[in-house]
Chains A and B, each alone.
Chain A
Amino acid sequence: MSQTTSDAPVRRQRAQIKVRTLRTDRWWLAPLLTFLGLSAFLVYGVWAIFDTPYYVPGAEYIAPFSSPCLATSCPEGARLFGLAPFGDWYTLPPGLLILGLPGGFRLTCYYYRKSYYRSFWLSPPACAVQEPHGKYTGETRLPLIMQNIHRYFFYAAIVIGAILSYDAILALVHKPLGLGSWILLLNAVLIVAYTLSCHSCRHITAGRLNHFSRHPVRYRAWTFVSKLNAKHQPLAWASMFSVMGADFYVRLVAKGIIAFPYA
């Protein structure tokens, strides 16, 4: 082999390996499952928004995708605190009014970003597997620079989490032995845990500080959120499936398809 000097052009080249990856494991499995999971959620969400009924009077169950119900078209008992701020000019499905908040929260979530960048945009599909795009600018410009507003969705998600908890407590009060009440409660717990485990929440509690010792209360909150935060990915999936499951269950009860006494 010939000797090359340190400034020879060939010395500035990476190994010219012509394949996209040399990985031999099933690296495509995780992005495939993620793709299917997220797609199922999207399809279900679109169906649920347009589906009626979503409310079980008496038991006071309301399907999470349609809560809070803010329009006059909502059944009276389904309205949040009996209010209908959107009046009767609004005739589209009431779920559409609030969809943007939890939707935007998950869309800009650091974990969901990872999962759809990998599984939908293949950037990269898996580690050490070359991405198919010729150019890459990441989150440096529009539209992806907008991901930086995530914390505002977090503020809204706190409110949504509180409303879902309120819904669950209301159901428990009206039908303590109803399976639906407990499903709604479990869902509310998972949603709240997912919301509190958010990276923006971690930052807001004390992540932005440099002198933890001067802010003992915030530091303790940060420690707690950090523990939840380490579980952010499983909580994202668990709460996504629980919200779909709880929503579907309430709709089945509302339609009378599930009708045993303790439903």
Chain B
Amino acid sequence: MILEVKNLHKIYNSGTHALKGVSISVEAGEFLVIIGLSGSGKSTLLRCINRLIEPTSGKVKFLGKDITHIKGEELRKVKSQIGMVFQQFNLIKRRSVLTNVITGKLGSLSTFNSIIEKFDKEVINEALNNLETVGISEKAKERADSLSGGQQQRVAIARSLMQNPKLLLADEPVASLDPATSNSVMHYFEKINKDFGTTVICNLHFLSLVRRYATRVIALKAGEIIYEGLPHEIDETWFKTIYGEEAEEVEIR
């Protein structure tokens, strides 16, 4: 088991109770997709897993080790083993694609060398390789904000690959992309999952993508898990339970 989340609660300072006792276990190599309405707590869950935010109570175990309360150097070590991709790509806009990819390696570079931006040949080659993996090595020298959304997201994926992650978290990675681009970006997640054996946990909105890529699905509603199972088991009834009576499925290919 690569990840174990036990009875996790998150209460924001504003008083919002975003997670209400969530428990999940993830086996190595899974492609786990989390679905749920806007505001159901999907992003909060991912951020609690790699401790971008502090869970209020409960436990997170990564590779058999309790990481809920670790701090400082130890926490950074764990973070460097967990990759993360965001809906808004979150690249450094004014810097080159290559520099952006290299930032994925910061956890294992010395502070001084990273500030004067002196990177080893190996690191640079690794970055170029990872750009190759997501198919945009020819853009290495360009400024990150000159790329299209889909290309930026691939740069973000390459950045997370620099961490050689055991676990890759993706928070609605295709929510701001058009359907065709969505599919191609999702394709790279599948490739990383299959080729490198990286475990992927991904928040998604479109059921057609879920059915195509997920090996297992969890549905959140108001901070609680209301469904857990295989993607093709989500039928009309489940769909309405998860997304509400009003919802209707839209097809995207």
Physical interaction between A and B = no
